Amino acid sequence: MSLLATARFHTTVAALHQLPRDGLPEVAFVGRSNAGKSSAINLLCRRRRLAFSSRTPGRTQALNFFHVGPADRPVGELVDTPGYGFAAVPHATREAWQALAGRYLGSRVPLVGVVLVADVRRRLTDLDRRLVAFVAPGTPLVAALTKADKLNRQQGREALAAVLAELAALRGPGSPSHALLFSVLDGTGRDELAGVVENWLGGLAAGADADAEKKPRQPDGPGA
Ligand code: GDP
């Protein structure tokens, strides 16, 4: 089984002091409400309802953590952050988003990568640009441009190139940034994004461990 297919709910965090202390690497998923973030997480993990749409009441201002890896020995966390839509929400909600998700993205030490889910037809919006500014400069970021099935090939290529160029300009040369086209309808980009996330979480070694849980572990030694 692939590493991401082992994802299961771990915990919900509504305040920074509740963040897990287990030191596992974390990959965060961010995006405007309705961009397609829950659909993307569910496709990556090959699950129907692991992550819920940001319209689900009560989940809007919390970080939801999902363990990946063997049941008794998780190797990483996927973190679903509240969908944002600053322009449409009251000031108090925006402040709450910044106090939790904004500070998490900017200062969380175990955070090894950020997946920004954006509707390919809108490319990056002002809200996405503000989001990118929250992410610490050294944290790798990939933009998953979803709903790619709504554009033809040429339009998709143009949108991808424009977003890549914009991310490079926004983040600067020392900040790793990447972008890919994605679609839950036809699976475009699913394997590429899964590869990026699994690589951030520890690469093939972690995936191999998830597969190897039933085999006896060899003692470490020269050649191990
Ligand atoms: P969230 O609010 O960002 O979690 O967005 P959802 O995952 O709930 O998706 C919002 C809407 O976009 C839903 O109606 C989805 O079915 C639709 N959607 C999500 N991804 C895609 C996609 O790749 N292609 C198309 N055509 N629709 C999508």
pLDDT tens for the chain, residues 1 to 224: 799 999 999 999 999 999 999 999 999 999 998 999 999 999 999 998 888 765 554 446 899 999 999 999 999 999 999 988 855 567 777 888 888 999 999 999 999 999 999 999 999 999 999 999 999 999 999 999 999 999 999 999 999 999 999 999 999 988 999 999 999 999 999 999 999 999 999 964 444 444 444 344 333 433 33
Q: Is-contact 75 24, C-beta < 8 A? A: yes
Whole-number Å distance between alpha carbons of 49 and 66: 12
Write down how long the chain is: 224
Q: What is the pLDDT of residue 211?
A: 44
Q: What is the pLDDT of residue 208?
A: 43
Whether 83 is in the pocket of ligand 1, judged by its Cβ within 6 Å, is yes
Whole-number Å distance between alpha carbons of 117 and 72: 30
Whole-number Å distance between alpha carbons of 57 and 34: 14
Whether 33 is in the pocket of ligand 1, judged by its Cβ within 6 Å, is yes
**What atom in ligand 1 is closest to the CA of residue 33?**
2
Phi and psi dihedrals of 132, rounded to 5?
-60, -35
- Residue minimizing CA distance to atom 22 of ligand 1: 147
- pTM for the complete prediction? 0.89
Residue of 39, 150, 182 with the most ligand 1 atoms within 8 Å of its CB, for mutation? 39
Q: Domain 4-212 belongs to what topology?
A: Rossmann fold (3.40.50)
Q: What is the pLDDT of residue 217?
A: 37
Q: What is the pLDDT of residue 56?
A: 52
No. of helices (H) and no. of strands (E), the chain:
7, 7
Whether 151 is in the pocket of ligand 1, judged by its Cβ within 6 Å, is no
Whether 156 is in the pocket of ligand 1, judged by its Cβ within 6 Å, is no
